[in-house]
Structure 1
Amino acid sequence: MRRITRTLVTAAMVAAVVAGTAGWASGTAQEPVTGPPAGTAEWRAAGLPDPELMDPAAVARFFAGLGPQERRRLVQAHPTVVGNLDGAPLDLRYAANARTSPETYPGARVLAHDARGRGQTVLVYGDLAKAERIAVLVPGSDVDAGRMDSLTRKATALRTATGGRTAVVAWAGYTTPLGVGLDAASGELAEAGAERLARFADGLRAAGVRPEPSVFCHSYGSVVCGIAAHRLKAKDLVVFGSPGMRAENVAGLRTTARVWAAKDPTDWIDRVPNVAVAGYGHGTDPTTPEFGARAVPARDAKGHDGYFAPGTSSLRAFAAIAEGDVR
Structure 2
Amino acid sequence: MAPRPGSSRARRALLTALVTASVALPVSGAARPAAVPAPAPAALAPLGTARPSALDARYAAGRKEIRAARDMAAGHGDRRRAAALTAMAGHGRTFLMFDGRDGGRSVEVFGDLSRAARIAVLVPGAGVGLDHYGRPRRDAEALIGELGSGSAVVVWLGYRTPDLLSPSSLTAGRADGAAPVLRAFVRELGRARPAARVSVLCHSYGSVVCARAASGLDVADLVLYGSPGAGAGSAAELRTPATVRAGLGGDDWIARVPHLAVPLPFVTVGFGTDPVSPEFGAEVFDAGDAGHSDYLRPGSVSLHSIAAIVTGTGTGTGTGTGTTGGRHA
Q: TM-score, with normalisation over the residues of structure 2?
A: 0.74
The structural deviation recorded for 1:94 is 1.6
Alignment counterpart, residue 315 of structure 1, candidates 303, 310, 315: 303
2:151 alignment partner AA: T
The structural deviation recorded for 1:181 is 2.4
The structural deviation recorded for 1:14 is 7.4
- The list of structure 1 runs, each at least 4 consecutive aligned residues, that deviate by more than 6 angstroms after superposition, is 24-27
Unaligned 5+ segments in structure 2 are 1-10, 68-87, 316-329
Q: Secondary structure at the residue paired with 1:97?
A: helix
Give the conservation status (yes or no) of the 8 Å contact 2:251–2:289: no
1:316–1:8 CA distance, 2 compared to 1 (3 A): closer
Alignment counterpart, residue 17 of structure 2, candidates 12, 33, 45: 12
**Does the alignment pair 1:120 with 2:82?**
no
Q: Secondary structure at the residue paired with 1:225?
A: helix
Distance between the aligned counterparts of 2:59 and 2:167, measured in 1? Answer: 36
- Measured on the aligned residues, the alpha-carbon RMSD in Å equals 2.8
| 1:149 counterpart residue number | 134
The structural deviation recorded for 1:209 is 4.6
The structural deviation recorded for 1:254 is 0.3
Correspondence list, 1:7-46, <5 A = 9-12=14-17, 28=29
Q: Secondary structure at the residue paired with 1:137?
A: strand
**Does the alignment pair 1:282 with 2:262?**
no
| 2:250 counterpart residue number | 265
The structural deviation recorded for 1:326 is 2.3
Give the conservation status (yes or no) of the 8 Å contact 1:90–1:207: no
Give the conservation status (yes or no) of the 8 Å contact 2:200–2:219: yes
Distance between the aligned counterparts of 1:94 and 1:7, measured in 2? Answer: 48
1:205–1:298 CA distance, 2 compared to 1 (3 A): closer
Distance between the aligned counterparts of 1:273 and 1:86, measured in 2? Answer: 41
The structural deviation recorded for 1:165 is 3.0
Correspondence list, 1:293-304, <5 A = 293-301=282-290, 303-304=291-292
Give the conservation status (yes or no) of the 8 Å contact 1:87–1:205: no
Give the conservation status (yes or no) of the 8 Å contact 2:126–2:161: yes
| 2:58 counterpart residue number | 93
**Does the alignment pair 1:201 with 2:160?**
no
Count residues in correspondence: 268
The structural deviation recorded for 1:316 is 0.5
Point out which structure has higher relative CO (alpha carbons under 8 A, 6+ apart): 1
1:106–1:168 CA distance, 2 compared to 1 (3 A): farther
The structural deviation recorded for 1:96 is 1.2
Per-residue displacement from partner, 1:213-262 (whole Å, max 9, x unpaired)?
Answer: 11111000000001110011111011111001111111001011111111
| 1:246 counterpart residue number | 231
Q: Secondary structure at the residue paired with 1:305?
A: coil
State the identity as a percent.
42
More deviation in 93-102 or 253-262?
93-102
| 2:5 counterpart residue number | none
Unaligned 5+ segments in structure 1 are 1-5, 18-23, 40-78
1:186 alignment partner AA: T
1:181 alignment partner AA: S
Distance between the aligned counterparts of 1:217 and 1:122, measured in 2? Answer: 15
| 1:81 counterpart residue number | 43
1:171–1:200 CA distance, 2 compared to 1 (3 A): same
The structural deviation recorded for 1:13 is 5.8
Alignment counterpart, residue 280 of structure 2, candidates 291, 305, 308: 291
